[in-house]
Amino acid sequence: MAPQDAVLGWDEDTTAEAYAAFTRDFPMYSATSRDLARRAHLADSRLVVDLCGGAGATAEAILELAPAQARVISLDNAAAMQRVGRRTLTDPRLTWVTARAEDLADHIPGPADAVVCNSAIWKTDVEAVAAAVGRVLRPGGRFVFNIGGGFAGVRHSDEQAARIAPSLHTLIRQVAAREHGYAPPPAAYTLPKLPLEEVTEHLASAGMTVLDIEVVAQHSTMAEKKAWLSIPIFARPDGDFSHEQRMDILTKAYALTTPDTATVTTWLVVTAQRPREQR
């Protein structure tokens, strides 16, 4: 089952507009999208799926690497995100489909050369998604996706080395505790939500072979982290706070940092493939 809180809030205009603005103003999503698209080996592709494609940042990276004859389908269940994407990404090779990731196989007209999913597989029923991807990929087709290090329970050495000063998340919790009596959730909630072992089991059950697993580091700044946490769906802390309260807490926490301080985020990148047919 998909996490209950993972599907809430995405189909809202305020989230969609803020998310799209972030992808234009900061490099995180464009950089991770280009990385995944490169790993998908798109040079000879004819049909590529951008799964949980949101406002189209990953579709744009796919279109840059795919050949002229390729078609790209960006599938997402949040119509608000796609409305924003349609305004800015008008390439005739791109088709927008509003549907759940788990229902992928019901909306793809033919075998896909690759399925790419950036930063979003954690909010799906991964077992059902893997099964659907396994059905739509052609033999030899690739499924490339990433998982945030916190969700996967991994950490890049660069992130470990960067943990000298308190993170913005830590400062947010401290401000919330001081001014609102906030208490963080029990430690059990910090356990990995999507460990690699679970992911590989789902891929194997869907008939796919894991080609590569890499823990990578995404480098950014405290200013970029603040902008990301300003998106309503990502705003912290959890609990009974209004968005205005969260933004006030964020502003006060950010004031305790230096904007150009380097920050590092860990990603677990997985490349899987449907086996080629045996002759």
- Band (186; pLDDT cuts 50, 70, 90): confident
Q: Name the architecture of domain 4-157+192-219+264-273.
A: 3-Layer(aba) Sandwich (3.40)
Note the pLDDT tens digit of each residue in 28-49: 999 999 999 999 999 999 999 9
Whole-angstrom Cα distance, residue 50 to residue 44?
17
CB contact at 8 A, 33 and 26: no
pLDDT > 70 fraction of the chain, expressed in percent and rounded: 94
From the CA atom positions of the chain, what is the Rg in Å?
19
CA angle at 216 for the pair 189 and 32, rounded to the nearest 5° = 95
Residue ranges per structural domain of the chain: 4-157+192-219+264-273
CB contact at 8 A, 246 and 237: yes
- Band (200; pLDDT cuts 50, 70, 90): very high
Q: What is the mean pLDDT of residues 184-212?
A: 88
Kindly compute the dihedral angle of the four CA atoms of residues 200, 39, 192, 128, in this order, to the nearest 10 degrees.
Answer: -50
pLDDT over 90 at 161, yes or no: no
Mean of all residue pLDDT scores within the chain: 92
| Per-residue model confidence (pLDDT) at position 9 | 84
pLDDT over 70 at 6, yes or no: no
Distances in whole angstroms, Cα of residue 103 to Cα of each of 79, 99, 100, 133: 15, 7, 5, 10
Q: What is the mean pLDDT of residues 169-185?
A: 94
Note the pLDDT tens digit of each residue in 94-153: 999 999 999 999 999 889 999 999 999 999 999 999 999 999 999 999 999 999 999 999
Note the pLDDT tens digit of each residue in 39-95: 999 999 999 999 999 999 999 999 999 999 999 999 999 999 999 999 999 999 999
| Per-residue model confidence (pLDDT) at position 94 | 98
Torsional class of 118: left (φ above 0), alpha (ψ -120 to 50), beta (otherwise): beta
